[in-house]
Structure 1
């Protein structure tokens, strides 16, 4: 690139690399989605079209960015997880966040008509903001994802009860809020069942557990009653040691081969419990970042 007297302005750019050997989570949230949901008449308490659109956009992002290990979404938010060993964009925060946000937004707008047929978009268009958070240990990462899934359940139970009081019970929004103020989960379950014959346990898992986007590898049988599995600290240490060993041993050629293997894997959207150990034990590639076996096509 030719030098010019104006090139000095590059010195104002500030480096923003995220810490090495930490899990990177880029979390996006819809901007002004309360108004957007009202504008397009989203069904309450959950609009399956809107959720499926979010999931389709997230799966497309994950396909475009093989460095993403797992993604979790609920309502108008999605969390995209990059492995500790990720070196994409030299771990620059601005590049990672803007790439995920812009890619997700573009797919969301592009796929809109596939889920909201005969409902054309108009200004103001859907948009998302994002942030990057670093988590130093596997335990921290799992706690983060567990927090989001617990929040999904809490919010969905509240919204299901709130809208049942309005749509089925004839209450106004203010009256419904007062009715639910200070209630516990058991109280909300009782309201749903006693007044509206709704068993919350029978509600679709997609609403209760949110959506998990992962690559489809062959599941592994979980180990039974081993010290490494029973002791989170020991399991975490062994996992971390293994990660350091893998990252140190893999050449650029091997890393590229594994990247291509991840690209070939089918992206799946599931609505399952990610809090229990079994989810992680049966999918060891999530923490190791070493691709699993791709299922044989039948």
Structure 2
């Protein structure tokens, strides 16, 4: 393209390359979803249709971007993890975040009618914002994922108890808030069981644990990657030729993407799925 006297404006673009050799997490959140939930009468405390829609959009994002290793979602948020070796968009934060946000939003709106066939969308339409954060070690990454899953449990237990008090106990919002003020998890479990005969342990796993999205390969026997040092060694990028790296990318693109509701805090989840940290594709499960 020929130069022009106007090209100087490019100098105003500032570099936003993310720190190399770090895990990149792009977390998106729904914008104004409290009003959206009210507008379309989402069920309380959880609307399975809405969560299934979030999961469908997340799966579509992972299918579009094989560079994503794992994603985790609760409520109206989703976290997408890029391996520390990822060079997509030269690791530019603006490109990574805008691509995730726009792709997710597009699929969310596209799939809306599948999950809400009797509630056609109208403006203002659903939208999401996003941010990118770098984590230097595997332990940092796992602690981030654990933080989100702990939040899922805390929030869901509160919301389950709160709405049980309203829907089954006949109190209003303010009374429910006052009854739950200062309570711990044991207190909430006791309220659910003694007053409403609800055993929180029997609630659906998706509500208690959130949703984990990843490429499914054959599980391996738990290894010895429990120590931070060993996990970080597993995550070190392998020295591949460009052709081998492209083959791995294509293999990841062909692997089945699954949504499961598992404990990602304990070591077992990661030990049995070493590809999540190594970024090296595993063996595709045999069809039954």
TM-score range, shorter chain: over 0.9
Shift of 1:238: 2.7
Other-structure match for 2:281: 291
Please identify, of 272-281 and 3-12, the stretch whose mean Cα deviation from structure 2 is larger. 3-12
1:16 correspondence with 2:16: yes
Structure 1 unpaired stretches of 5+: none
1:96 correspondence with 2:96: yes
Other-structure match for 1:239: 234
Q: For residues 180-217 of structure 1, what are the alpha-carbon distances to aligned partners after superposition, in whole Å with 9 as ceiling and x for unaligned?
A: 00000000000000000000000000000000000011
Shift of 1:4: 1.3
Contact kept, 8 Å, 2:23 with 2:83, in 1: the verdict is: yes
Question: TM-score, normalised on structure 1?
Answer: 0.95
Structure 2: distance between partners of 1:278 and 1:18: 30
Selected match of 1:275 from 251, 265, 269: 265
Structure 2 unpaired stretches of 5+: none
Structure 2: distance between partners of 1:38 and 1:180: 23
Structure 2: distance between partners of 1:292 and 1:237: 18
Contact kept, 8 Å, 2:231 with 2:277, in 1: the verdict is: no
Structure 1: distance between partners of 2:119 and 2:34: 17
Structure 1: distance between partners of 2:229 and 2:71: 26
Output the aligned Cα RMSD. 0.9
Shift of 1:160: 0.1
Shift of 1:237: 4.3
Contact kept, 8 Å, 2:26 with 2:100, in 1: the verdict is: yes
Q: For residues 82-104 of structure 1, what are the alpha-carbon distances to aligned partners after superposition, in whole Å with 9 as ceiling and x for unaligned?
A: 00000000000000000000000
Structure 2: distance between partners of 1:131 and 1:30: 12
- 2:273 match: secondary structure: coil
Structure 1: distance between partners of 2:232 and 2:267: 16
Q: For residues 267-294 of structure 1, what are the alpha-carbon distances to aligned partners after superposition, in whole Å with 9 as ceiling and x for unaligned?
A: 1000000000000000000000000011
